[in-house]
Chain A
Amino acid sequence: MSIDRETVDHVALLARLALTEKERERLREQMSSLLEHINLIAEADTSQVPATAHVLPLSNVMAEDKVVPSMPTADLLANAPAREETYFRVQAVLDEE
């Protein structure tokens, strides 16, 4: 299984990674090689089994609807790279016009 350069570029965009040229080329090779090993699973007969997303015999864990104190805003903002008043500051998402 060989991955082409367009696929690497597309996946890098989806993953939000500004990879360098060198990294893209190396990842193209490494991902191709890893997928060769990984493709082994294609031969497993899974026609009779459901998928296991997690192993717990649990679904819909409910919590009591109880109000508990939140963490202080200042603590939660303390690690923010940029903030304004009590908000995280982000770069503009929408154009101004």
Chain B
Amino acid sequence: MLRLREISSMELTRAHLDRIEQVEGSVRAFVTVTEDEAMREAEHVDQLRREGAKLGPLAGIPIAIKDVLCTKGIVTTCSSRMLEHFKPPFDATVIKKLRAAHAIMLGKTNMDEFAMGSSTENSAFFPTRNPWDLERVPGGSSGGSAAAVAAGEAMASLGSDTGGSVRQPGALTNTVALKPTYGRVSRFGLIAFASSLDQIGPFTRNAQDAALMMQTISGHDPLDSTAMNEPVPDYAAALTGDIKGMRIGVPKEYFVEGIEPGVRASVDAAIKQFEALGAEIGECSLPHTKYGIAAYYIIAPAECSANLARYDGVRYGFSARDTSGDIIAAMSETREQGFGAEVKRRIMLGTYALSSGYYDAYYLKAEKVRTLIKQDFDAAFGRFDALICPTTPGVAFKLGAKTADPYTMYLNDVFTIPANLAGICGVSFPGEFSEGLPVGVQLLGPAFGEPTLLRLVDAFQRVTDYHTRMPEVATKRKSAARKRR
């Protein structure tokens, strides 16, 4: 439509800013809305289009960015008091790439503080609500980015996935949420949580849009030595609709007790659908799955305790200096006041796991278990192109339902964590609903298997309409708003 000039980028951006204004009172997906910048960029894109410039598919498309990604001169908070006023002096590589593609940034989205959490309730500012049921969480940690796309506040968004932080909120909000292979997307400018697990990924409403986002953000980056120098395939070209003969494995360890019946039914229905489309379904085993959470909750906190050591109140961020003459006391006070409960809990756990006398029993052991989990996947991908399973054990839960016991919250990531440990790619996409709430179906693929995953999701979406459903909050007030204007 943009290319045909049926609508201008300014109109499209304005429409999304209006939607933001309408729903933000209840959804609260954004920490910062960059209205003026967005309209300026949209005007620029329209100008370029009038001049006949050759523009890419994302040109003029309004996008939301998780507040964990550095945006030059625009406050980047990580939803933490520690970075409440932090204005990065540079853009993250993915932001540079989106800018170069002339995508329009609408603002920065809310998240669990420093990406630690599964409900966005750990934001130091406010919780984000699920557009499908405002009493429920949108998942996390990229809850704001998921909710923004689900509520029609943005056409796509970026999140980050360390143990499921893109896929889990994707599942809870009826969006397509992709965690790319570790090393596929540059992490430069992504505020670090657990560096061997973190990966940036897109939220979209369908596989086609996910392909466009991946095309733009993927690739080698000299600023991130872990961004692999691996050719970027044509993702859109992978969406052929033909999945005949593709082999999909069903890992039996992912279909255990504790899965809600509605989620189970949705995943079973998706498996049948893929079979009907010509895929070959077979059972497989990932025997070390049960150790995933334990290994993750050693490795991720350990890496986080090292990464977050940089917040010392000296170079940037919150500072409680001059409370005493003692530099260690000042540093400790800075961190005490700047970090929230979950962040402190993980720093403590990670520091403990790395401390003298415990390193072998915890960190080293967890890294060995990580090898076992990776070997499980290597064996499975020798037989299958992709694996199918639930993204989460249940649908979106109510705010406050899982905040009392940290482990209950951690269990939400049981099906998403193994992919991060193994560095493989995974995608959550909308399946059959359960009692009016979205259910995410997850496909896992081998390293750099994103085209396969997107082809499968696209084929599924050609014959289903779950992904086209929008929550009431995004449809109901549209007419009222038009009248208002």
A interface residues with partner B (beta carbon < 8 Å): 3, 7-8, 10-20, 23, 27, 30-31, 33-34, 37-42, 44, 46, 49-56, 58, 61, 63, 71, 75-76, 78-82, 88, 90-93
Instruction: Kindly list 7 other residue pairs between chains A and B, CB separation below 8 angstroms, not including A8-B348, A56-B226, A71-B90.
Output: A20-B336, A30-B345, A31-B345, A56-B228, A61-B225, A71-B89, A90-B327
B403 CB → nearest A CB, Å: 12
Cα A72 to Cα B213 with chains together (Å): 31
Q: Which residues on B sit within 8 Å (CB–CB) of A18?
A: 329, 332-333, 335-336
Interface residues of B in 311-346 (CB under 8 A from A): 312-319, 321-322, 325-333, 335-336, 339, 341, 344-345
Cα A79 to Cα B407 with chains together (Å): 36
Do residues B330 and A91 form an inter-chain contact, with CB atoms below 8 A?
yes
Given contacts A11-B355, A17-B336, A82-B321, contact A55 B294 (CB under 8 A): no
Counting chain B residues whose Cβ lies within 8 A of the other chain, the interface size class is: 35 or more
B214 at the interface (CB under 8 A from A): no
Cα A11 to Cα B90 with chains together (Å): 34
Do residues A37 and B293 form an inter-chain contact, with CB atoms below 8 A?
yes
Interface residues of B in 101-137 (CB under 8 A from A): none
Given contacts A38-B362, A79-B316, A82-B321, contact A33 B367 (CB under 8 A): no
B466 at the interface (CB under 8 A from A): no
Do residues B228 and A16 form an inter-chain contact, with CB atoms below 8 A?
no
Do residues A17 and B348 form an inter-chain contact, with CB atoms below 8 A?
yes
Do residues B331 and A16 form an inter-chain contact, with CB atoms below 8 A?
yes
Do residues A63 and B222 form an inter-chain contact, with CB atoms below 8 A?
yes
B interface residues with partner A (beta carbon < 8 Å): 85-87, 89-90, 182-183, 196, 222, 225-226, 228, 288, 290-291, 293-295, 297-298, 305, 309, 312-319, 321-322, 325-333, 335-336, 339, 341, 344-345, 347-349, 351-352, 355, 361-362, 364-372, 374-375, 405-407, 422-423, 447
Most buried by B among A17, A41, A76, A79: A41
Minimal Cβ-Cβ distance residue in A for B297: A38
- Contact pick for A56, options B183, B348, B367, CB 8 Å: B183
- Contact pick for A52, options B183, B315, B374, CB 8 Å: B374
Cα A63 to Cα B222 with chains together (Å): 7
B398 CB → nearest A CB, Å: 22
Do residues B225 and A11 form an inter-chain contact, with CB atoms below 8 A?
no
Cα A17 to Cα B349 with chains together (Å): 12
